[in-house]
Amino acid sequence: MLFNSISFGIFLVIVFILYYICPHRYRWGFMLAASYVFYMNLHLWYGILLFLTTLLTYVLAIAMEKAHSSEQKKLRLRLGILPLILILIFFKTANPVITQINNAISNGRLALQPVTLTILLPAGVSFYFFQSIGYLVDVYRGKIRAERHFGYYALFVSFFPQLLAGPIGRADSLLPQYKKERPFVYENVTYGLKLMTWGYFKKLVIADVFAVTVDQVYNHAHSYVGLIFIITTVMFAIEIYCDFSGYSDIAIGCAKLFGIELMTNFKSPYFSFSIKEFWSRWHISLSTWFRDYVYIPLGGNRVSKQRNCLNLLITFLVSGFWHGSALTYIIWGAAHGLLQIIETLVYPKGRERKKYFWQLPVTFILVCFTWIFFRANSIEDAVWIISRLFWDASRPFNYLKTAVICLEMSYIKMGGLALSVLVLFMYDLLSLKYDVIQEFSRLKFFVRWPAYVLMLVVIALFSYKGVATEFIYFQF
């Protein structure tokens, strides 16, 4: 059940009404059942994997607290984490391995029949696996107590607004919220609906529209040269941001309808002055997860400078592999790791870093450059794109003219896209200092409501495609 589908809209209305009718002591059970209905609507066996993950981590967390020695405790932690990691590795690598086998068969290196099996990555598995692993580690470290109520813990793992693509939650923040009585609060509901509307705008009006051009160029990379690659790479940077932050806004707004606060996942990342700052603003729930459960256990920055650099590189390589086992993702992760290492060497711990305006565009250019590897279908495509970014740039008029022709857009459509990006830019710029939705809600009635209606009309006009369009991060 996709957020941008009519079925989800009907589902949400029904769940919302029944949730507030239901007495508090039964709400956890109702929300748990609703979450499993939401998830199993995608595939029946997804629910089985979700339940087995929940049961395994629930039992082992309690077993860790009952352990008589640190060795027993550590063993039970490993018994909880290792199966989840191995399952993730299997799903991340199975299809690439099958592809390599089939290539070997077609080239005559293996005398076998082609493998026709396709392994589908269960939606959301990476996110709730990471959430469950984080819970086990927090119990192991003594940061939290193991949850004894299986229902509350199962809801923590499966809460439907965040189940498919986060934000990745922490038990110390979410479990108390599920247990606390949540009365109907009008302000929470209106704020949540407005945030969801903004998320739908980013997904349907910007991301999905940009995706058409980006997919055309990147999926047929060898048919293009020159400025079109720079334009579509910037478009992809905006597309993936609007797609994923749009999902996060919908998820956070949806949870807000039920009085649940999820962590902020994006904070105007393209207004960053450095790669380090970018990662403090981009996919915050994942970047902080890697910081707390990969980088810090490796030693973080409490070790020698050389080891700290290695820790950064390992963390970003793991992040790249989490996105996919293809070499393009590994290079993307390594590139961000190397950029962080350079910044660490130039600005060591304790040294004040001044911010200059030129750092904004430089950081954006570096991030966009790494997006080429992230989006390219292969290393060969990425090399082709990079080597031809400035093809025919010595003739500026032809350089620009060729790009405009390749875009295959009317001037009206270009203007519409530029206007939507301008709205996004202004929102993100203002959100650096203000809660834009809250501040906008304080404006006069005759200012607010025309804007709300216009936003809904624009979303409706673009939603003809959105009902069948998955969010990018579902594949991870």
Residue 43 bears catalytic tag: no
d(CA 370, CA 382): 10
The three-state secondary structure class of 115 is coil
What b/e string do you get for 228-251 counting C-beta neighbours within 10 Å, with b at 16 or more?
bbbbbbbbbbbbbbbbbbbbbbbb
Write out the DSSP string of 150-203. HHHHHHHHH-HHHHTT-PPP-HHHHHHHHHS-----HHHHHHHHHHHHHHHIII
Q: What value does the mean pLDDT of the chain take?
A: 89
Q: What is the pLDDT of residue 119?
A: 65
Tokens of 422: 């301008």
Q: Is the pLDDT of residue 263 over 90?
A: yes
Averaged pLDDT for residues 343-361: 81
Helix axes 186-200, 445-466, angle to 10 degrees: 50
> Between these two residues, 341 and 111, which has the higher pLDDT value?
341
Catalytic annotation, pick one of 222, 283, 323, 336: 323
Q: What is the pLDDT of residue 466?
A: 42
Per-residue pLDDT of 55-107, as tens digits, reads 999 999 999 999 889 999 999 999 999 999 998 888 877 767 776 776 666 66
Q: Is the pLDDT of residue 473 over 90?
A: no
Q: Is the pLDDT of residue 109 over 50?
A: yes
Region for residue 299 given its phi and psi (left: phi exceeds 0; alpha: psi -120 to 50; beta: otherwise) = left
> Between these two residues, 374 and 346, which has the higher pLDDT value?
374
CA angle 60, 38, 34 (to 5 degrees): 75
